[in-house]
Amino acid sequence: MTTDLHGKIALVTGSTSGIGLGIARILASVGVDIALNGFGDAEAIDALCEDISATNGVRVIHDGADMSKPDEIESMMKRVAGDFGTVDILVNNAGIQHVAPIESFPPEKWDAIIAINLSSSFHTTRFALEDMRKKGWGRIINMASAHALVASPHKSAYAAAKHGLAGLTKTTALETAQDGITANAICPGYVLTPLVENQIPDIAKIRGITEEQVISDVMLLNQPTKRFVKIEEIADLALFLCSDGAASMNGMCISVDGGWTAQ
Ligand code: NAD
């Protein structure tokens, strides 16, 4: 990839762990300054910022805004644009999960999943677009899921939020198509991150099966490769979407799911 992203600024929400951290690392490796976001131990996050910065010679900051709170998102967007620089690459990645049948799905979990996995992307996008339009360049990458395209039992809020994120992605793409901005959604299958590891005991309990069976008979059942998707496979795609070569890829929901949604 020949595109020079050196000196561009990326905000990656939910990047203290898992997929978001993988995307932050690959963007930093090509010279992109990084604004991290997400929860975690303050000292560990400081060490993470220092490590990414020292390894790649880029600037790295962290903002701990809670993506379920629009006022905190607004403050984060203003702080990043003011102190760090206007956002060129916005990766809406923060997400949570809760599995339960609809009748016993806690309404507060529904609200939290819709807020974090869907509405936060609307809020970050609405604050980022003006500067991207002024520069005539921008990349918006929304971390959707195979669950943006198909559903699974017990994931009502997650599937609803991710299907919604696909709609937001397409609308953003259409509204910005002539401004040098692209908006795309990445739709991973199962990736072994803390978000997935934490579901295993709950799914085992709901279905009355062992944790090993959750992996083989539930999670990898529909993933034809019979292995978890690697974080690096998603990060590589995110990097490509930031390149000039991807300038005509717009409004897409791109599956990285080992063939799950081909069935
Ligand atoms: P993860 O749990 O490793 O990371 C989630 C990140 O989001 C963490 O940095 C966490 O601190 C942050 N976060 C959680 N709640 C937040 C909040 N309220 N405000 C700010 N940050 C918050 O999970 P992951 O698997 O890397 O998931 C990242 C994204 O990828 C999510 O949107 C998820 O839905 C999506 N995804 C994951 C998989 C998978 O199998 N792991 C598959 C498809 C899609």
Domain containing residue 116: CATH number: 3.40.50.720
In terms of domains, do 68 and 145 share one? Answer: yes
User: Which atom belonging to ligand 1 lies closest to the Cα atom of 231?
Assistant: 26
In terms of domains, do 61 and 162 share one? Answer: yes
In terms of domains, do 28 and 97 share one? Answer: yes
In terms of domains, do 102 and 199 share one? Answer: no
Distance from C-alpha of 7 to C-alpha of 224, rounded to nearest angstrom? 39
Distance from C-alpha of 25 to C-alpha of 21, rounded to nearest angstrom? 6
In terms of domains, do 135 and 241 share one? Answer: yes
What spacing in Å lies between the alpha carbon of 178 and ligand 1's midpoint?
Answer: 31
**Domain containing 199: what range?**
191-228
* pLDDT tens across the length of the chain (263 residues): 668 999 999 999 999 999 999 999 999 999 999 999 999 999 999 999 999 999 999 999 999 999 999 999 999 999 999 989 999 999 999 999 999 999 999 999 999 999 999 999 999 999 999 999 999 999 999 999 999 999 999 999 999 999 999 999 999 999 999 999 999 999 999 999 999 999 999 999 999 999 999 999 999 999 999 999 999 999 999 999 999 999 999 999 999 999 999 99
Q: What is the pTM of this model?
A: 0.97
In terms of domains, do 204 and 111 share one? Answer: no
Q: Is residue 154 part of a domain?
A: yes
In terms of domains, do 163 and 128 share one? Answer: yes
CA angle 194, 166, 21 (to 5 degrees): 30
Q: Which two tokens stand for residue 204?
A: 């085992």
What spacing in Å lies between the alpha carbon of 65 and ligand 1's midpoint?
Answer: 14
Q: Is the CB of 75 under 6 A from ligand 1?
A: no
**Which of 263, 241, 243 minimizes the C-alpha distance to 169?**
241
* Biggest distance spanned by C-alpha atoms of the chain: 55
Distance from C-alpha of 38 to C-alpha of 66, rounded to nearest angstrom? 7
In terms of domains, do 36 and 156 share one? Answer: yes
